[in-house]
Amino acid sequence: MIRFNPAGWSIRWQIAALLIVTQIVAHVISVVTISTFSTRRGGEAELVVNLSEPFLTALRLTAGDPAEAAPHLAALPGMDDRFAVTDRLPSVPTDAAGWDDSAVHRAVFAELPARWRDHVMFYAADDGAVTYRNFRLALRLPQGHWLVYGPRGDTLVEAVPQLVGLLGLLFFALPLMLLAVWSGLVLTRPITALAAGAEAFARDTATPPLREDGPVEVRKAKRAFNQMRIRIRKLLSDRSQTLASIGHDMRTPLTRLRLRLEMLEPGPATEKINEDVTTLERMIDDALEFLRSENQPVVLTQVDLAVLVRTVADDYADRGHGVVYQGPARLVFRCDVDLVRRILDNVVGNAAKYAKAAEVTLQAGTSGAVRIAVRDNGPGIPPDHREKVLEPFARIAAVRAGTAQTAPGFGLGLAIARDLTERLGGRLTLGDNVPSGLLVTICLPLRLADGAATAVTGGTPHV
């Protein structure tokens, strides 16, 4: 079932649809109003007079006594099929005046030449009231004959209201509507550019600044966004340089400390110190890796995602972990190979640390997006701690039970994976794996990956 949901449209198309609908509604109301009121009261009388003009003109052109002009008027049926000569008027007594006090009758009577008013009858062609669609004019001729005039049903005067409406729609309302839509699209273009720029900056902080154009309010918003962009980039740069400098400066004393440990006699104390030095070195490496994840640019290429996911799963299986792959043999997708590999390494590596077995599944969505799910049978993460573990250097006590107590790492794996997933325009979520364990879902959308995902059941996989 197709659902009409304008709220899901962009602002430019919402404004365009609003302008089109309002123009159409306004013009329909105008056409209906013109058609209705032009055939009522004075408007209908005017129409009847206009439709009677050929008959009135013929009477005005005749000169002299009506009896002398009658033979000339009797010849009109041969020249105009709206005239006819008959011996008897239908359902109208020949001695009746044929006029009443209605507005239509008064209007026609006023247009008749004075010398003809006693010789003309005005009546309804069919049973009912006299209207601009249903009237006749009859002139009494000598020897009891009548010259009857009736307008055509397709006469131009009758169709004037509808014709005016259609011509107005074609030559005025339609160009005006197109101009209004074009103006709305032009006015909303800076807003669309602002939204696109903010979305691009959310994925990659190295994007260029926005052009400060458009209406005053939009220019102010873009100027504020560019200033915020500069401050955020400076903040990230300062943090990266600070942590990189700390990591570089710490390596020198750690190296000297390790050299001095090698000069000491082996023993329990030296082993503990050596473990602490190793832990510090891993912390420095993990911190630098986290910094590299923020600064690495996004490069989109066409890749066989199924082969890439299966390769990562097989690598961990070869190291002795119970990691298996479930999914299509091929799935072509446009993404950043290095970033996706790092995401999988961190997520699958996290499952290998805290669980005995894990399953990696790959699935293509109906909209062209892809979904990667990593399920393990480990201790899992309570719902109220899941957002916390996605932050850098966050390790909760709930995940330090069992094998997690001795597992290496400093709480950066999931944080790096979520950061890289969001830079690709995707989303990483945590859930429960039934009956036990953790479910990590990675969704990469088609609209930001700029390519369709197509699953293939056979063929030779390649990256």
Three-class secondary structure assignment of 62-122:
CCCCHHHHHHHHHCHHHCCCCEEEECCCCCCCCCCCCCCCCHHHHHHHHHCCHHHCCCEEE
Does residue 171 lie in a domain region?
Answer: no
Is 94 in the same domain as 226? Answer: no
Is 237 in the same domain as 374? Answer: no
Is 449 in the same domain as 355? Answer: yes
Q: Which domain-ending residue is among 266, 295, 324?
A: 295
User: Taken in order 163, 165, 170, 172, is the CA torsion positive or negative?
Assistant: positive
Does residue 177 lie in a domain region?
Answer: no
Does residue 174 lie in a domain region?
Answer: no
Amino acid at position 33, single letter: T
Domain containing residue 339: 298-456
Is 360 in the same domain as 444? Answer: yes
Is 268 in the same domain as 347? Answer: no
Is 136 in the same domain as 227? Answer: no
Decide if 273 contacts 259 (C-beta within 8 A). no
pLDDT at 403: 41
Residue 225 sits in a domain whose CATH number is 1.10.287.130
Instruction: Encode pLDDT of 400-446 as tens digits.
Output: 444 444 445 556 778 888 888 888 888 899 998 888 889 999 998 86
Is 17 in the same domain as 110? Answer: yes
Does residue 154 lie in a domain region?
Answer: no
Strand 438-444 to 146-149 pairing: unpaired
pLDDT at 306: 92
Is 61 in the same domain as 103? Answer: yes
Is 25 in the same domain as 93? Answer: yes
CA distance 414 to 399: 13
Task: Dig out the tokens for 221 from the structure.
Answer: 């918003």
pTM over 0.75: no
Q: Which domain-ending residue is among 117, 132, 149?
A: 149
Does residue 193 lie in a domain region?
Answer: no
Instruction: Report residues of the chain scoring pLDDT below 70.
Output: 1-12, 27, 30-43, 64, 90-101, 127-128, 132-133, 153-170, 172-173, 243, 247-248, 286-287, 289-297, 392-411, 446-463
Closest CA relative to residue 351, chosen from 312, 320, 377 = 377
Is 308 in the same domain as 288? Answer: no
What is the percent of the chain with per-residue pLDDT over 70, rounded to a whole number? 73
Does residue 179 lie in a domain region?
Answer: no
Decide if 70 contacts 142 (C-beta within 8 A). yes
pLDDT at 8: 57
Is 307 in the same domain as 291? Answer: no
Residue 357 sits in a domain whose CATH number is 3.30.565.10
Is 279 in the same domain as 306? Answer: no
- The number of distinct structural domains making up the chain is 3
Beta bridge partners of 147: 85, 139
Does residue 462 lie in a domain region?
Answer: no
DSSP string, 408-421: ---S-HHHHHHHHH
Q: Which domain-ending residue is among 295, 316, 348?
A: 295
Backbone angles phi, psi at 325, to 5 degrees: -115, 135
Does residue 382 lie in a domain region?
Answer: yes
